[in-house]
Amino acid sequence: MDESANRGSAPEVELKQRRGVRTIEVDDELMQDIADLVRSDARTVLLNILADLHPADIADIVEHLESDDQSRVFDVLDAVMAGEVLLELDPGVRESLTERLSTQRLSSIVSQLDSDDATDLVAELPEEVAQKVLAAIPKEESAEVKELLQFPEDTAGGIMAREFIAVNRAATIKKALQAVRRMAKEGGNVLNVYVVDDEGRLCGYVPLQNLVIHSPNRKVYKVMSPDVISVRADLDQEAVAEIFKKYDILSLPVVDGDNRVIGRITVDDVVDVIHEEHAEDVAQIIGSDAAELERRSPAQIAALRLPWVLATLAIEFAAGIVIHFFDQTLSKIILLASFLPIISAISGNTGLQSAAIVVRAMATGHVQLGRWWAPIWRQFQTTLILGGVCGVIIGFIGGLWYGRWEFGFVVGVSMFISINFSGFVGTSVPMLSKSLGFDPALTAGPFETAFQDVVGITIFLGLATLMVHWLQ
């Protein structure tokens, strides 16, 4: 179809009203307009529309399209925009798109990305495709990507970029500014210029704004700040994120064992790290895996979750044994069975909340193992209130229901003790696990909840048995 025929069409008119904005809301009307343009092959109109949108908005649009339409939209983008959009896509959609791209197209996209982003993209490709892409891009860029691929992805080296500026301390500000201009022309983002000595060791940095306010002939060492914060390439990315938060910085140099600068990490990389770590912690707390957020087959998802389910099943058998042990008590007061799931659910939920809070607090540095008693005491104060309120409510209802205040007392006290015990376990076990070198998120899932169920049921039925003997 002739593209000029589409220029006066309704979809174009409606979409043009959205142009020029920095963010958009992807709704059904917009998606219908985009789909109409794609299927009518109005590439020029479509490109004009997409050119005014942020890569994140384009990615959002692509994710809402059918698979074939996704490829058609992506094909109208140039290599620079295509690379930016790829980085914003959901991992599953990105994988699906890259599988349909030619090696030449992939190579042109990778060559336009910063080294850290290029490395992340190449790492997601099948081995054979990745080798072809690396062979097709310039040797210097290929060498940088290969070097970054050697670092574990969850370390400072794995998230750093090779694009940085380092000048000798004896250089002039004029020379430093020339280096900044060269990087800016190549599309690089400069925040700080790192200063090195004659051996190439890091000795300071100069913020970009300091370069433009001093004389061009002034020596760099006279205006640099010697208090430069740096990290080793093998430092965990979670610790890197904590450094950014603690010192409120936008850029961080990465050094080798000889304190030579080998890369830099910027705050946008850290935002991604925080999101990934949070998603991973939450997924592990519920006994799953963050990879489930990507595309996995049902069999793969089942294999990931089965160990947790089986561990929980084994512990819940213990709860069944406890209930069987107290079967005589239950036979005398059938109403006890009605309150078992309530106490179990509320105490388990309290423990899981406590665990989620302390796991995230440790990840962000708000909880330190050296002061382990502080979060436990604070959580105990919280569960005292929660347990007291829930205990009074369920005790009052239980007493009215059974017609004996003794029954209400047993139910209320059981709820109070169970909630406080669950809060203690949910707070202390993750810290204990971390002190022993284990991932605290792994211990804060269904396994721990099931253990709290067993203890809560035991407390409840034990007190109920004492009550039965007392009433007799």
Q: Residue 161 carries which DSSP code? A: B
- CA 348: distance to chain centroid? 25
Q: Give domain limits for the chain.
A: 3-153, 166-266, 290-471
Give the pLDDT confidence score for residue 316 in this predicted structure.
72
**Residue 312: count of CB within 10 angstroms of its CB:** 19
Task: Give domain 166-266's CATH number out of 3.40.50.2300, 3.30.70.1050, 3.10.580.10, 2.60.420.10.
Answer: 3.10.580.10
pLDDT value for 443: 57
- Ramachandran assignment for 20, one of left (phi > 0), alpha (psi -120 to 50 degrees), beta (any other): left
Confidence of residue 444 (pLDDT cuts 50, 70, 90): low
Mean pLDDT of 218-245: 90
DSSP 195: E
Count Cβ atoms within 10 A of the Cβ of residue 257 and give its class: 0-12 exposed, 13-18 middle, 19 or more buried.
exposed
Between 404 and 177, where is the model more confident? 177
pLDDT at 176: 92
Higher pLDDT: 245 or 283? It is 245
Q: How confident is the model at residue 14 (pLDDT cuts 50, 70, 90)?
A: very low
Confidence category of residue 3, pLDDT binned at 50, 70, 90: very low
What average pLDDT score do residues 79-104 get? 87
Work out the pLDDT band at 361, boundaries 50, 70, 90. confident
Q: Between residues 328 and 10, which one has the greater pLDDT?
A: 328
Task: Assess contact for 350 and 424: CB atoms under 8 A.
Answer: no
Predicted confidence band of residue 13 (pLDDT cuts 50, 70, 90)? very low
DSSP 231-298: EETTSBHHHHHHHHHHHT-SEEEEE-TTSBEEEEEEHHHHHHHHHHHHHHHHHHHTT--GGGGS---H
What pLDDT digit, counting tens, does each position of 370-428 carry? 788 888 898 889 989 998 999 899 889 988 888 888 888 888 888 888 888 888 888 88
| Residue 76: φ, ψ to 5° | -80, -10
Query: pLDDT grade, residue 1 (50/70/90)?
Result: very low
**pLDDT of 230 higher than 70:** yes
Helix, strand, coil % in the chain, rounded to nearest 5:
70, 5, 25
Highest mean pLDDT among 56-70, 335-349, 364-378, 426-440: 56-70
- pLDDT at position 195: 95
Query: Which of the residue ranges 113-122, 145-154, 447-456 would you say has the lowest mean pLDDT?
Result: 447-456
pLDDT of residue 379: 87
Nearest to 348, CA basis, from 286, 439, 409 = 286
Residue listed under structure tokens 């965990």: 236
Say if residues 454 and 319 touch (Cβ distance below 8 Å): yes
The answer to whether residues 300 and 437 touch, using CB atoms and an 8 Å cutoff, is no
- Report the C-alpha gap between 457 and 314 in whole angstroms: 16
Q: State yes or no: pLDDT of 235 exceeds 80.
A: yes
What's the mean pLDDT when you consider all of the chain? 80
Average pLDDT over residues 97-121: 89
Beta bridge partners of 261: 255
Average pLDDT over residues 105-124: 89
| Tokens read off for 100 | 């349909």
Q: Which amino acid is at 450?
A: A
Looking at residues 172-196, what average pLDDT do you find? 87
The string of DSSP codes covering 167-197 is: EETTSBHHHHHHHHHHHHHTT---SEEEEE-
Interior angle at CA 393, CA 391 and CA 395, nearest 5: 65
CA distance 349 to 422: 8
- The model's pTM: 0.59
Buried b or exposed e, range 105-140, using 16+ CB within 10 angstroms: bbbbbbbbbbbbbbbbbbeebeeebbebbbeebeee
Q: Which of 12-21, 74-83, 322-331 has the lowest mean pLDDT?
A: 12-21
Residue 134 above 70 pLDDT?
A: yes
The pLDDT value recorded for residue 252 is 93
Residues with Cβ within 8 Å of residue 27, at least 6 apart in sequence: none
| CATH fold group of domain 290-471 | Tetracycline Repressor; domain 2 (1.10.357)
3-state secondary structure of 205: strand
The full DSSP string for 326-380 is: THHHHHH-TTHHHHHHHHHHHHHHHHHHHHHHHHHHHHHTSS-GGGTHHHHHHHH
CATH architecture of structural domain 3-153: Alpha Horseshoe (1.25)
Residue range 67-76: mean pLDDT, rounded: 85
Of residues 301 and 319, the one with the higher pLDDT is 319
* Number of C-beta neighbours around residue 185 at 10 A: 8
Residue 16: is its pLDDT beyond 50? no
Helix (H/G/I), strand (E/B), else coil: 186: coil
Using 50, 70 and 90 to split pLDDT, how confident is the model at 166?
very high
The answer to whether the beta carbons of residues 161 and 116 sit under 8 Å apart is yes
Per-residue model confidence (pLDDT) at position 10: 34
Work out the average pLDDT over 303-315.
Answer: 72
